[in-house]
Chains A and B, each alone.
Chain A
Amino acid sequence: MSRLRRYLRDNAVPLALLSPAVLVILLVVLLPLLFSLYTSFSNYRLIRPESLWDVVWFRNYVRVLGDGDFWAALGRTVLFLTLVLNLEMLLGLGLALMVNRLTFGQRTMRTIMMFPMMFSPILVGFQFKYMFNDTIGVVNNALQSLGLTSHAIPFLVDRWLAFASIAIAEIWMSTSIFAILILAGLFAMPRDPVEAARVDGCTNWQVFRHITLPFLMPFIYIAMTIRSLDVARAYDIVDVMTGGGPAGRTELLWTLIARTAYDDSRMGQANAMAYVSILLSIFFTWYFFRKLMAARKHLGVF
């Protein structure tokens, strides 16, 4: 007890300065989280406020975990996350390497590269929805005009084409995040090890594989962590392009959760789903942070 008192006395000023921030975080983050955790154990329906006190214990979780549609959406979300993150990383890496080699107009290219990030996901969703439309879409019209197909390809209906179309929209919008972060890594990279390797007769591939890439890995994992949180809660683009359909073929966790919460007003059940999805996000964040630490260790940062 006296140790605690001594600690408080010695650190009174920093604790006092930090306390408003801690209080705000408790109010803004922790309270809503606790409230939503409570509602996940209730039959809470938005349109029946009195249902907030109707505790159903684990019923929502039992239903969610026993629901094939939920597991399908979860599996699809993990697949979407894996595919989109890896493709964005590869394309972002390629873009960054190319822009890094530019000796003229590099700043302009960097600005142009960031354009897709400036659009709201809803606008991107509408843009790709109309591009991939089966009758008036520019992609179908182009394919038909070029004689590559004589019929309308149902891009937003076919199970895998619809999945791919949404992934393309997501990748188009966010690849530049990877490119910018990796480019920052390339700018920060010391030239000495590269030049030493070249003197030793290493090929371009060997320099990239053994020097450039390891140096870039922390930057890649930071981008992966940020984007994994974004993609795991992908909603706007999917909602606009397909609404999770047709027949649940593009249903991701957040389209399912949003529909359950707001359209069905079943906030209790939606929160149970959201808690399961939060675990998913925590897992990906933990995984990428572990990878980030390993990469930093490999570079001798620790």
Chain B
Amino acid sequence: MAMTRTSLAAALAASTLLAAPLQAQDYGTFDGYTLRVKLIGGAQYEPLYTLIPEWEKATGAKVEILSRKSHFELDREMKQDIAAGNTGYCVFSSHTNFAPQYNAMNQPLNDLIPAEVVAEFSPLVIQHATVDGQLMSLPRHSDVSNMYYVKSLYEDADNKAKFKERFGYDLTPPETWDQATDQAIFFANPPDRYGTHFAGKDEAITGRFYEMLVADGGKLLNDDFTAAFNGPEGVMALNWFVNLYKEKAVPAGTTNYVWDDLGLGFAAGAVAYDLDWAGWAAFFNGKDSKIAGDVGVALAPKGAGGKRTGWSGSHSFSITQTCDNKEAAASLIMFLTSHDAQMMEARSGLLPTRTKVWDDVLAEFEAKGDTFMVEVFKVFGESMRDHAFTPPLIPEWGEISNALWPQLQAAILGDKTAEEALNEAAEEVNLIMSDAGYN
């Protein structure tokens, strides 16, 4: 019986997934040892853990999962563990942007992960996971935001003509954030449709502001770790959000939105374009989306500084300093970030951290004829390679974020001018950095 090309590819993928990880690399023998771990939980993270029995079978060890929480809950737990000295486990889910906070418990991985394994990861991602020259975590999958848009709105002849008449240039997915502003205003027809929306609270709005600040040529902190974001570039970056809010091109509730609100809103066809994470791609084009088959993907636009927005980071795995079997811990995290484990995550749209997985998953999507996911991986691949950057890798990132976001909201809602809001945030950030001993 002849197999179709798609089913052959699927069968090959399934067989390699089940068999290859343990054949490709020797993960060691740890008979009778129980490895205690704390892992991030949630729908998109859990499928990877179905591979853990394979590692147990190969090494003779057992994995005991002590926690399976959302990222923010896990972050709180990590901080409490550090405070209480309660780090009697070995492996924990981390994030490259949060890892510096866990310095007190983090075991540098340089001597535990062989250099040839590290070399198989994307250099930029490894750079983001390195703090003060030490590899603090092994990246599992990355993320960066790019532009999703409703294709039919951009292809509509009437829209094209009206837009050209009003703004003097062709309607295409925005190349700059100024064009994005024009288009958000053009497409807005509240309450039925808005031009766009943005995550407006917590670290989400800080991150969006931060990447816009960088794209506009600014920076968050000076070399002496004092606030640098309250200059002209910061005001320009913040005013992008302020103007869209004033123009009612975004929903009035956008200052309360975080990622789920954005993803669900775009999938409901409520906005024309959405700067969002790669993990949403399959959902936007899936059966639960009202815009399935009508989703375009483009690189995130450029700011006034000629740089594209690209706030990024990777979910990762770390090892505790107090771990009683660091070799077993290293073995597990290498297994969970192996080529085949990453292929499994990449098939669901998560961005891999190994260079070869990018090529292999693209080839697989091409073989399946999944043109949408091919486009997604090409755009996000370029973004990860050329435009991704992290927040400053210092433990105070969370505190800086908490000083910034209420002030950003105050400017967006019109309680303060952008200058006032940023100056007040800068004052608070300077105090935080001073208390932390930076200056």
Contact = CB atoms under 8 A, between A and B. Distances in A.
B398 A263 contact: yes
A195 B263 CA distance: 64
A248 B255 CA distance: 11
Nearest to A140: B191
Interface in B387-439: 395, 398-399, 402, 405-407, 409-410, 412-413, 415, 432, 435-436
A195 to B, nearest CB: 55
Residue of B200, B253, B402 ringed by the most chain A CB atoms within 10 A = B253
Interface stretch (A45-53, A98-106, A294-302): A45-53
B406 A43 contact: no
Given A48-B104, A49-B85, A136-B264, A265 B256 contact: no
A246 B413 contact: yes
A267 B398 CA distance: 14
Contacts of A157: 252-253, 255-256, 413
B342 to A, nearest CB: 30
Interface in B227-283: 251-253, 255-256, 261, 264-265, 268, 270
Contacts of A152: 190-191, 251-253
Contact of A246 (B251, B256, B402): B256
A82 to B, nearest CB: 24
Contacts, number: 107
B403 to A, nearest CB: 9
A251 B103 CA distance: 31
Interface on chain B toward A: helix, strand, loop, or mixed SS?
helix
Interface string A102-130: 00000000000000000000000000010
A240 to B, nearest CB: 11
A176 to B, nearest CB: 28
B272 to A, nearest CB: 14
Interface residues of A, number: 37
Contact of B80 (A46, A150, A245, A264): A46
Given A135-B265, A152-B191, A49 B409 contact: no
Interface in A141-172: 144, 150-157
B83 A49 contact: yes
Contacts of A48: 104, 395
21 contacts: A47-B79, A47-B83, A133-B253, A133-B261, A134-B253, A135-B265, A135-B270, A136-B270, A154-B252, A154-B253, A156-B253, A157-B413, A243-B202, A245-B201, A246-B201, A247-B413, A259-B402, A262-B76, A263-B76, A263-B402, A265-B399
In the A-B complex, the 10 residue pairs with the smallest Cβ-Cβ separation, listed nearest first, are A154-B252, A134-B253, A246-B255, A247-B410, A247-B409, A152-B191, A46-B79, A46-B83, A246-B409, A264-B399
